[in-house]
């Protein structure tokens, strides 16, 4: 600790740094024009040191934890500190470098100068509704190269001398389907990184740059101390897990995936050496995403409620060769990368659940359930497009049943679309919206239930659906004798009574008037032998309609 910084001032400055991070986060939601930002909170904001160490980060979704480090690093690597000037803002969405996860996630990085020196960086990464490409919304299940996935911003200056580069904006405007939203987000992101810059300067004016730097170092030290404490409380050893990804959306071949996790006194090592090579379809994930998965799980098993910074990630070591399905190289498509990022997260989870049961449940439905449904509004005949994630069942826990009807582990402060608003805005009728009581996830403690959400197409001109549901073929894993969960699937009840599907992934599938699109997510995995479940609980589930009498009898041995 610096001799001239008393511990209380240090604490006030540390709190101020965290508050700046929060203010940036709120400002972004407040200034964005895109529902995916202000409703789904699909973005992250934060501050790093001049060495790209995360000081504070606000996330709306878990999958973005720690990603800003890599964005800032890529900026420093390209320009060097000496190549950056006051008033610069750099923009990147390069999935393979530090910039992005898929092209839709656009990151802005600003060097914060105080008296001629870079004292910090502020960064903001947000999901743009549109960056162009072959499919509306810029993601699809059938792209085979990144060139189909919209504009790429390869770590370039977007602002110089506090002024946006007009030619860049003109370029974006003609290349995306919703230019007002995308350019609106461009400005909203710039506003949030600048707000942080302004606050940092105020902080330095008040306490002096040296005091602020000392407080930053203390904040990172706090994180490191906490990380060591967390590591000490974890079981040591090597733990492995295997699983299978359904397919890449192009062929039907299942894709085997593996992890080896080693916890020592000093390190938390995740080894993905046995991951398969990148694939033809857009499920490839980048090294940035894999790092997020690792950080997310580390936080989950150590102290999920912590305000984190780079110091807390010091013990982490990631081993992954280049060019795998989770470290894809150019020009692999990555537009639905999240389905595979979820697997890297889920594999570490699966390896550790039996040994860290107080922090981890059994496997959950493990998909964002992202769907794009288009149709026409019966009132006014205008085209409507609905982009939404879907809810499913979470795994049972060592001491209680799993949670029903939640978004997946990569999401977070993600909200469902109310039925009343959906029907008004999109011209569909919600036919059904309830828990899915199908078999799956039985155990001493059972998995939570997935959700069925069904839409009836009302317009004469019909519509289309693009959807990607992971764990369609290989449901959520159980622990300690608990059964597997239920499969995720989509089916179309045709107006003539026939049923198309079930599918796991489909792109731009046509829908006719009267068709009912049913998105069905499965239960999470069970924990413990179903025979050990108390009779009262089985009877209560049957009474509540959360379990059939047949399952009660056949799996739990309880006559109702």
Partner 1 sequence: MKLATDIGGTFTDLVYLDEASGELGTTKSSSTPPNFAQGILDTITKANLDAKAVAHFVHGTTVVINALTEHKGAKTALITTKGFRDVLAIARANRPDIYNLRFKKQPAFVPREYRYEVEERLDYKGEVLTPLNEADVAKIAAELKAEGIEAVAVAFLHSYANPVHEKYCAELLKKHLPDMFVTSSSDITKEWREYERSNTAVLNSYVQPVASSYVQNLENALRDMGVKSGLHIMKSNGGTNTFELSKQQPIHLVESGPVGGVIGAKAIGDLIGEKNIITMDVGGTTAKTSLIEDGVVKFTTNYYIEKDPFNPGYPIKVPVVDIVEIGAGGGSIAHIDDAGALKIGPQSAGAVPGPACYGQGGDKPTVTDANLVLQRINPDYFLGGQMQVDPELSKKAYTPIAESFDVSVEEAALGVVRLADANMVNAIKLVSVRRGYDPRDFALVAFGGGGAMHAASLAKELNIGKVIIPFATGTFSALGMLMTEPMQDFIRTKVLPGDENGLAQVRDILTEMNTEAADFMRAAGYPEAKFSFKPYIDMRYVGQEHTVRVPADELNLAKLESQFHDLHEQAYTFRLESPVQFVNYLVTITVSQDPVDLSRFKPKAGNNAKPKAQRQVYFEGGWQDTAIYERSDLPLGQKIAGPCIIEEPQTITVVHKGMQAWIDEIGNIVIDTGVGHER
Residues 352-381 that bind partner 1 (CB under 8 A): 358-361
Nearer to partner 1, 134 or 203 (CB): 203
Q: Which lies closer to partner 1 via its Cβ, residue 58 or residue 333?
A: 58
Is 305 buried (19+), middle (13-18) or exposed (0-12) by CB count in 10 A? exposed
CB of 226 to partner 1, least distance (A): 5
The total number of residues written for the chain in this structure? 560
Instruction: Decide the pairing of beta strands 43-49 and 117-127.
Output: antiparallel
Asked if 368 contacts 316 with a C-beta cutoff of 8 angstroms, the reply is no
Structure tokens at 446: 């059972």
Check residue 349 for interaction with partner 1 (CB under 8 A).
Answer: yes
Cα separation, 518 vs 432, in Å, equals 8
CB 129 to partner 1: min, Å: 11
Piece of 138-146, 152-160, 333-341, 543-551 that binds partner 1 (CB under 8 A)? 543-551
Residue 267 β-bridge partners: none
Secondary structure (DSSP) of 397-420: -SSSPPPSSB--TT-BS--PPPHH
* Antiparallel, parallel or unpaired: β 463-468 and 370-376: antiparallel
By beta-carbon proximity to partner 1, the closer residue of 82 and 536 is 536
Q: Coil, helix or strand for 11?
A: helix
The secondary structure element, H or E, covering residue 450 is: strand 450-457
62 binds partner 1 (CB under 8 A): yes
Please tell me the distance from the alpha carbon of residue 141 to that of residue 460, in angstroms, as a whole number.
26
| Residue of the chain from 252, 266, 540, 557 that contacts partner 1 (CB under 8 A) | 540
Residues in 288-347 at the binding interface with partner 1, rule: CB under 8 A: 296-297, 299-300, 304-305
Q: Does 191 bind partner 1 (CB under 8 A)?
A: yes
Select the span of 56-64, 92-100, 283-291, 503-511 touching partner 1 (CB under 8 A). Answer: 56-64
Q: Is the CA virtual torsion 16, 22, 26, 29 positive or negative?
A: positive
Residues 18-37 that bind partner 1 (CB under 8 A): 19, 23, 26-27, 30-31, 33, 35
Q: Which residues, numbered 36-55, are part of the site for partner 1 (CB under 8 A)?
A: 38-39
Quickly tell me which residue has 């059904």 as its tokens.
432
**Residue 293: CB partners within 8 Å, gap ≥ 6?**
63, 341, 342, 344, 345, 348
Number of residues engaging partner 1 in binding (CB under 8 A): 78
Residue 560 interacting with partner 1 (CB under 8 A):
no
Hey, which residues between 425 and 444 contact partner 1 (CB under 8 A)? 429, 431-435
User: How many beta carbons lie within 10 A of that of residue 118, not counting itself?
Assistant: 18
Token pair 């790429």 is found at 152
Site for partner 1 in 106-135 (CB under 8 A): none
Cα–Cα distance measured from residue 220 to residue 458, given in angstroms and rounded to the nearest whole number: 56
Residue list 141-170, contact with partner 1 (CB under 8 A): none
**CA distance to 30, 288, 309, 356, 357, per residue, from 67 (Å):** 22, 6, 12, 25, 27
Q: Mask 226-265, x = binds partner 1 (CB under 8 A)?
A: x--x------------------------------------
Of 202-221, binders to partner 1 (CB under 8 A) are: 221
Q: Which pair of structure tokens corresponds to residue 199?
A: 């606050």
Q: Of the ranges 251-259, 397-405, 464-472, 473-481, which one interacts with partner 1 (CB under 8 A)?
A: 397-405
Is the Cβ of residue 281 or residue 427 nearer to partner 1 in the bound state?
Answer: 427
Least spacing, CB of residue 429 vs partner 1, in Å: 7
Q: Contact between 270 and partner 1 (CB under 8 A)?
A: no
Closest distance to partner 1 from the beta carbon of 210 (Å) = 19
CB of 225 to partner 1, least distance (A): 4
CA–CA distance, 469 with 464 (Å, rounded to integer): 16
Q: Which is nearer to partner 1, 112 or 428 (CB)?
A: 428
Among 403, 481, 500, 512, binds partner 1 (CB under 8 A): 403
Exactly one of 128, 407, 445, 455 binds partner 1 (CB under 8 A); that residue is 407
């Amino acid at each position: 600790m610096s001799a001239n910084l008393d511990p209380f001032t240090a604490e006030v400055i540390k709190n101020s740094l965290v508050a700046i991070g929060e203010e940036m986060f709120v400002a972004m939601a407040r200034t964005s024009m895109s529902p995916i930002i202000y409703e789904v909170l699909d973005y992250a904001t934060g501050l790093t040191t001049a060495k790209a160490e995360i000081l504070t980060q606000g996330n709306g979704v878990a999958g973005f934890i720690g990603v800003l480090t890599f964005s800032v690093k890529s900026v420093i690597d390209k320009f060097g500190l000496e190549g950056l000037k006051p008033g610069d803002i750099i923009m990147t969405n390069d999935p393979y470098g530090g910039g992005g996860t898929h092209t839709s996630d656009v990151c802005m990085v600003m060097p914060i100068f105080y008296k001629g020196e870079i004292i910090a960086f502020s960064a903001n990464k947000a999901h743009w509704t549109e960056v162009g490409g072959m499919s509306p919304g810029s993601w699809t299940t059938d792209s085979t190269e990144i060139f189909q996935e919209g504009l790429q911003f390869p770590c370039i200056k977007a602002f110089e001398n506090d002024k946006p580069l007009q030619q860049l904006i003109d370029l974006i405007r003609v290349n995306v389907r919703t230019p007002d939203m995308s350019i609106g987000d461009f400005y909203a992101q710039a506003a949030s990184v600048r707000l942080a810059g302004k606050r940092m300067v105020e902080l330095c004016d008040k306490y002096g740059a040296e005091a602020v730097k000392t407080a930053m170092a203390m904040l990172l030290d706090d994180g490191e101390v906490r990380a060591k404490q967390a590591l000490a409380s974890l079981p040591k050893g090597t733990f492995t897990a295997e699983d299978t990804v359904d397919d890449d959306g192009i062929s039907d071949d299942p894709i085997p995936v593996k992890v080896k996790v080693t916890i020592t006194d000093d390190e938390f090592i995740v080894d993905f050496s046995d991951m398969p090579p990148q694939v033809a379809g857009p499920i490839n994930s980048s090294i940035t995403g894999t790092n997020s998965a690792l950080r997310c799980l580390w936080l989950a098993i150590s102290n999920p409620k912590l305000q984190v910074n780079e110091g807390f990630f010091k013990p982490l070591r990631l081993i992954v060769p280049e060019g795998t399905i989770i470290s894809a190289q150019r020009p692999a498509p990555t537009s639905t990368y999240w389905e595979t990022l979820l697997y890297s997260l889920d594999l570490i989870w699966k390896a550790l659940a039996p040994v860290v049961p107080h922090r981890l449940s059994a496997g959950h439905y493990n998909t964002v359930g992202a769907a794009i449904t288009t149709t026409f509004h019966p009132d006014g005949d205008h085209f409507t497009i609905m982009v939404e994630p879907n809810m499913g069942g979470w795994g049972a826990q060592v001491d209680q049943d799993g949670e029903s009807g939640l978004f997946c582990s990569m999401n977070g402060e993600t909200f469902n679309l109310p039925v009343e608003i959906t029907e008004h805005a999109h011209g569909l009728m919600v036919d059904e919206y309830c828990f899915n009581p199908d078999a799956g996830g039985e155990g001493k403690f059972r998995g939570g239930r997935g959700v069925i959400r069904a839409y009836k197409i009302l317009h004469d001109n019909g519509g289309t659906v693009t959807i990607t549901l992971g764990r369609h073929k290989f449901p959520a894993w159980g622990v300690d004798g608990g059964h597997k969960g239920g499969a995720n699937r989509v089916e179309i009840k045709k107006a003539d009574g026939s049923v198309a599907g079930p599918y796991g992934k489909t792109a731009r599938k046509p829908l006719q008037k009267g068709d009912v699109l049913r998105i069905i997510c499965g239960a999470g995995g069970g924990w413990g032998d179903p025979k050990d479940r108390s009779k009262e609980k089985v009877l209560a589930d049957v009474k509540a309609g959360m379990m059939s009498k047949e399952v009660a009898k056949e799996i739990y041995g309880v006559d109702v």
